[in-house]
A = this chain, B = another copy of it.
């Protein structure tokens, strides 16, 4: 872990709720999800991890897949959300609201501290 790591502090397993959200909006396939995820704020998503995760979520019953031919390129495995997946997404949203609240507490407290310190990065109390 280095200080320059762009993924510092990202929520654990954040890929899953993001995928579920995108599939809640519209069915899609892995390669397309990779691009949509980038737009949602997740840079450098590991393709291998995504495809593995998709199959894991299918086994858990959160998504359902079917092969569909493509106009241009190899066939695609198209995923759609199941009812169970929709419930999971709902649970995730609740958990992430809690996380946001906790981050707020942390940041408020940090700002109070750095105000005391004169708000200079390397300043002592």
Contacts and interface: CB of A to CB of B under 8 A. Distances in A.
Copies in the complex: 2
A59 interface: no
Interface residues on chain A, size class = 35 or more
Interface stretch (A44-52, A65-73, A81-89): A81-89
Interface in A93-125: 93, 95-100, 102-107, 109-111, 113-114, 121-125
Contacts of A7: 12
Given A90-B121, A113-B21, A9 B14 contact: yes
Given A12-B9, A106-B40, A86 B17 contact: no
11 contacts: A3-B87, A3-B91, A8-B91, A9-B13, A9-B14, A11-B99, A18-B106, A25-B109, A41-B106, A87-B122, A93-B106
